[in-house]
Amino acid sequence: MQLLDGKFVSEKIKLQIADEAANFLNDTGRKPHLVAILVGNDGGSETYVASKMKNCEKVGFKSSLYRYDTTVTEAELLDKIAEINKNADVDGLIVQLPLPKHIDPEKVTEAIDHKKDVDGFHPINLGRMMRNLPCFIPATPYGILLMLQEYGINTSGMHCVVVGRSNIVGSPMSILMARNANPGNCTVTLTHSKTKDLKEQVLQADIIIAAIGKKNFITADMVKAGAIVIDVGINREFSTETKSGFKLYGDVDFDKVAPLTSYITPVPGGVGLMTIVGLLKNTLASAKKTIY
Ligand code: NDP
């Protein structure tokens, strides 16, 4: 078993991004600029946004955060997005999900200029991804592709089973793994809560991508010997053992599953760190106008 080490790989790629950001500053007199909008005080969202902002600073990007109370109206949020869309000093705009119930996430996603949609959630980017055209790939799937690439894993011809079909992880991941590209060229099975024979499906997998949101959901009896396991899950539980007061668990029962695998990502220290790299790479590509 070999660990797919998100810490090592993300630090390595961030050094390359920092180099490119320094060259960009030299050439243009400005830094790549990411703007985030955060509504409310959800603990997970606060942590993710803080980490995105911190990593921007680390690689030499400018970052700005607009915070709103949960009482913000949809119209106010859409106005702000329209203003940021027009600001030539901004390269990337993300709105941290989830949003309060009175705000339609689809409207918000579609309001973002697709040329600044560095989360890759806009229908234009998803449509272009589907057609294998240059686009912003959603940050988490992009991070997973970068991780597979970094370890030189050739996925061609593999059977990939994705568990979870969300718009941000499972569904785009299934499309990317089926594309005529490397990583890609897999035969893909996309499973979800209505899948009848989930265990049998997962047992067929050469590569399992788990994005469910349930601690220890993928157990050892679901994993074929030698499989590659990518654990996207981030399940937070209160803990007295850590300084932060909570502990993170993946969707995979790591201790029992890891010995069976050829490669596996840990949680924490795996996909989460690569997601930030995906976001930074998209923001840099936007600044350098290499996609649009
Ligand atoms: P969602 O809640 O949007 O989707 C979960 C998916 O899991 C759904 O498609 C659901 O099926 C499926 N599912 C739920 N229960 C079962 C079950 N019993 N059997 C089979 N499938 C099931 O989650 P996300 O995709 O947004 O996130 C998944 C996990 O990944 C979470 O823990 C999240 O925190 C984490 N995450 C981590 C990131 C990172 O950077 N590492 C980034 C984004 C998310 P159905 O559609 O039928 O309801």
Closest by CA to 235, choosing from 276, 268, 205, 275, is 268
* Domain presence at residue 131: no
Predicted confidence at residue 244, as pLDDT, reads 84
CA–CA separation, 262 and 1 (whole Å)? 5
Look at residues 81, 115, 149 and tell me which one is the last residue of a structural domain: 115
> Taking CB atoms and a 6 Å cutoff, what residues make up the pocket around ligand 1?
140, 163-166, 168-170, 191-195, 198, 211-214, 232-235, 271-272, 275
* Domain presence at residue 34: yes
* Domain presence at residue 149: yes
> Are residues 180 and 246 located together in one domain of the fold?
yes
* Domain presence at residue 121: no
Predicted confidence at residue 145, as pLDDT, reads 98
Catalytic residues: 52, 96, 119
CA–CA separation, 157 and 4 (whole Å)? 21
| Cα 148 to ligand 1 centre (Å) | 21
166 labelled binding-site residue:
yes
Domain that holds residue 98: 28-115
> Are residues 155 and 108 located together in one domain of the fold?
no
* Domain presence at residue 286: no
* Domain presence at residue 185: yes
Instruction: Give the number of the atom of ligand 1 that is nearest the alpha carbon of residue 165.
Output: 9
Predicted confidence at residue 262, as pLDDT, reads 98
* Domain presence at residue 4: no
Q: Among the residues of 87-164, which ranges form H helices?
A: 105-111, 123-130, 139-150
Query: Which CATH number is 85's domain given?
Result: 3.40.50.10860
Length of the chain counted residue by residue: 292
Closest by CA to 227, choosing from 236, 219, 217, 235, is 219
> Are residues 150 and 95 located together in one domain of the fold?
no
Q: How many domains does the chain have?
A: 2
CB 261 within 8 A of CB 242: no
- Confidence (pTM): 0.97
In a structure prediction context, what are the per-residue pLDDT tens digits for the chain, which is 292 residues long?
999 999 999 999 999 999 999 999 999 999 999 999 999 999 889 999 999 999 999 999 999 999 999 999 999 999 999 999 999 999 999 999 999 999 999 999 999 999 999 999 999 999 999 999 999 999 999 999 999 999 999 999 999 999 999 999 999 999 999 999 999 999 999 999 999 999 999 999 999 999 999 999 999 999 999 999 999 999 999 999 998 889 999 999 999 999 999 999 999 999 999 999 999 999 999 999 999 9
| Cα 156 to ligand 1 centre (Å) | 25
CA–CA separation, 239 and 21 (whole Å)? 38
Predicted confidence at residue 43, as pLDDT, reads 87
> Are residues 48 and 151 located together in one domain of the fold?
no
Closest by CA to 119, choosing from 51, 164, 52, is 52
Look at residues 115, 148, 176 and tell me which one is the last residue of a structural domain: 115
> Are residues 145 and 259 located together in one domain of the fold?
yes
Predicted confidence at residue 44, as pLDDT, reads 87
* Domain presence at residue 8: no
For 281, the 3-state DSSP assignment is helix
